């Protein structure tokens, strides 16, 4: 796989748009995720409003469930003293799927238990049905989703989670996915596990405080993540998928010749063409 990346061209890489990146600052470090407005425009617009209101500043990560998700929001939500949402909406119509006919979609050759076809769209792991009528983002490692209650219309973006364990694909088409983490996954995946039901922290002393959340475009250029992501609509990416599928490394005795969507690496590298690419399993 390294040889595939070393042979890549400058045009194979892209810089995430500052207006579509979110910077989550914790006392443990920085987590950056990229938004996918083609899939969840209403939720992302509402999230932008929440961030503009400084809604998340001072709130907390309240849940870290082993092999599943990390979740953050207002610990007092649903009770007296909950933080107001300002101009943001309290609930939105679900954006679990979107029309798939006109979607830019790079399919991969893989048998999938949860969809007729899987691949990538705009750098995000995605799936669609055979007729192409519906497409959706998948719950691979690093996916960012919008928490909700029992009602499909109860999500707003005020409560978010990141997949930190084995891909919970059974959540596909049941939760609005808004993007994926592109930096800082090691911070989230290393958080202490909550001992309460579903991995919730049992006391406020366990909460991981959020210092701030900001849209990248609102930060000075010098404070933005300097990173390039491998485009998923290129021949280089297709070669990478095949190299990952066949595993020609000497260690493998019996390569499977098969691949799972969520086991395909999404490479990132410093924003410096002369630097060696950094493989990140997102």
Do residues 161 and 171 touch, judged by C-beta distance below 8 A? no
pLDDT band at 131 (very low <50, low <70, confident <90, very high): confident
| 277: pLDDT strictly greater than 90 | no
Interatomic CA distance for residues 276 and 68, integer angstroms: 31
Cα-Cα-Cα-Cα torsion 100, 103, 108, 109, nearest 10 degrees, comes to: 40
Cα separation values, 203 from 71, 144, 199, 210, 274, Å: 15, 24, 12, 16, 47
Query: What is the pLDDT, as a whole number, of residue 276?
Result: 45
Between 1 and 41, name the one with better pLDDT.
41
Q: Taking all residues of the chain, what is their mean pLDDT, rounded to a whole number?
A: 93
Pull the structure tokens for residue 115: 């969809």
Do residues 280 and 268 touch, judged by C-beta distance below 8 A? yes
Query: What is the pLDDT, as a whole number, of residue 132?
Result: 72
Cα separation values, 78 from 65, 85, 210, 281, Å: 21, 12, 19, 35
CATH architecture of 18-226: Beta Barrel (2.40)
| 247: pLDDT strictly greater than 70 | yes
| Cα dihedral 240, 243, 249, 251 sign | positive
Summarize pLDDT for 35-87 with one digit per residue, the tens.
999 999 999 999 999 999 999 999 999 999 999 999 999 998 866 678 999 99
Query: What is the pLDDT, as a whole number, of residue 1?
Result: 72
Fill in the DSSP letter of residue 130.
T
Summarize pLDDT for 161-188 with one digit per residue, the tens.
999 999 999 999 999 999 999 999 999 9
Do residues 117 and 125 touch, judged by C-beta distance below 8 A? no
Query: What is the pLDDT, as a whole number, of residue 281?
Result: 41
Interatomic CA distance for residues 99 and 143, integer angstroms: 20
Interatomic CA distance for residues 226 and 48, integer angstroms: 22
Please tell me the pTM assigned to this model. 0.94
Do residues 1 and 279 touch, judged by C-beta distance below 8 A? yes
Cα separation values, 2 from 132, 230, 276, Å: 34, 13, 9
Query: What is the pLDDT, as a whole number, of residue 272?
Result: 63
Fill in the DSSP letter of residue 139.
-
Pull the structure tokens for residue 22: 């979110």
Do residues 107 and 238 touch, judged by C-beta distance below 8 A? no
pLDDT band at 282 (very low <50, low <70, confident <90, very high): very low
| 275: pLDDT strictly greater than 80 | no
Interatomic CA distance for residues 200 and 194, integer angstroms: 5
Between 95 and 274, name the one with better pLDDT.
95
- CA 140 to chain centroid, in Å, comes to 8
């Amino acid at each position: 796989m390294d040889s595939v990346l070393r042979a890549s061209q400058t045009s194979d890489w892209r810089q995430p748009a500052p207006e579509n990146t979110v910077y989550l600052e914790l006392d443990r470090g920085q987590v950056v995720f990229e938004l996918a407005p083609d899939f969840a425009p209403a939720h992302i617009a509402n999230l932008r409003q929440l961030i503009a209101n400084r809604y998340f500043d001072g709130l907390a990560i309240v849940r870290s469930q082993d092999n599943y998700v990390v979740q953050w929001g207002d610990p007092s939500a649903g009770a007296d003293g909950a933080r107001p949402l300002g101009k943001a909406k309290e609930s939105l119509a679900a954006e679990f799927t979107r029309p798939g006919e006109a979607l830019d979609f790079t399919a991969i050759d893989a048998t999938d238990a949860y969809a007729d076809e899987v691949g990538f769209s705009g750098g995000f792991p995605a799936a669609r049905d055979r007729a192409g009528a519906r497409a959706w983002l998948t719950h691979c490692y690093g996916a960012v989703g919008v928490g909700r209650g029992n009602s499909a219309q109860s999500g707003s973006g005020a409560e978010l989670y990141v997949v930190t364990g084995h891909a919970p694909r059974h959540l596909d088409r049941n939760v609005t996915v808004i993007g994926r983490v592109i930096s800082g996954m090691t911070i989230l995946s290393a958080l202490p596990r909550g001992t309460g039901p579903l991995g919730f922290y049992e006391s406020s002393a366990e909460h991981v405080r959020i210092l701030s959340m900001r849209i990248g475009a609102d930060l000075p250029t010098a404070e933005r993540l300097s990173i390039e992501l491998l485009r998923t609509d290129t021949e280089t990416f297709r070669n990478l998928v095949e190299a990952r599928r066949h595993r020609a490394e000497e260690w493998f005795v019996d390569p499977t010749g098969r691949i799972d969507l969520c086991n395909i690496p999404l490479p990132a590298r410093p924003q410096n063409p002369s630097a060696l690419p950094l493989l990140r399993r997102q």
